Amino acid sequence: MIAIVKYNAGNIRSVKNALDRLNVESKLTDDPEELAAAEKVIFPGVGEAKSAMNYLNERKLDEVLISLKQPFLGICLGMQLMCSYSEERDTKCLGIFEEKVKKFPPKGLVPHMGWNDFTAINGPLFQNIEKEENMYFVHSYYVEVGRDTIGETEYLIPFASALQKNNFYGVQFHPEKSADSGRKLIENFLKI
């Protein structure tokens, strides 16, 4: 069973719907035991960093998530919360990745919303996905390119569009809203 982390964020149901379309059993949960026992965990979300981290901390889900050994995928806000720190309301995050989350500079249209491709990709999440393939993004904050970067995209500046460290994976885009390319990425995660 795939556990989808239930927390104070939006857009979680779309991930469940994407897994349903692939005939994959999943459950939306904030139960620590169910998360620990799941075959894989997906940490999606659209929302605001501080209130989402408060929800995780109050329920001790922060401790559970960083201790997981199974494949773990953070999507959009989920990936940002896996980083060490977010400028969004001065938020200490989970610290799985060393990278920091910053606000896009005010020199273009923010949020970054729409389809974009990659300047670099690497690793098992991107099996059979080309740099020219587009994924759907919607975000005002970005993750700095760093040692855990496995996908890089450019919008105003280069940023990390995918991260990986051990069993932890993160993507800034929304694979559940990214048509065939996103479906391939979800299928690749399910094979890990």
**C-alpha–C-alpha distance, residues 11 and 47, integer Å:** 9
Helix pair 179-191, 12-21: axis angle to 10 deg: 80
Nearest to 100 by CA among 109, 108, 91: 91
Question: For residue 144, what are its two tokens?
Answer: 């700095």
The residue count for the chain: 192
Question: For residue 46, what are its two tokens?
Answer: 């659209």
Q: Which residues are known to be catalytic?
A: 76, 174, 176
- List Cβ neighbours of 63 (8 Å cut-off, separation of 6 or more): none
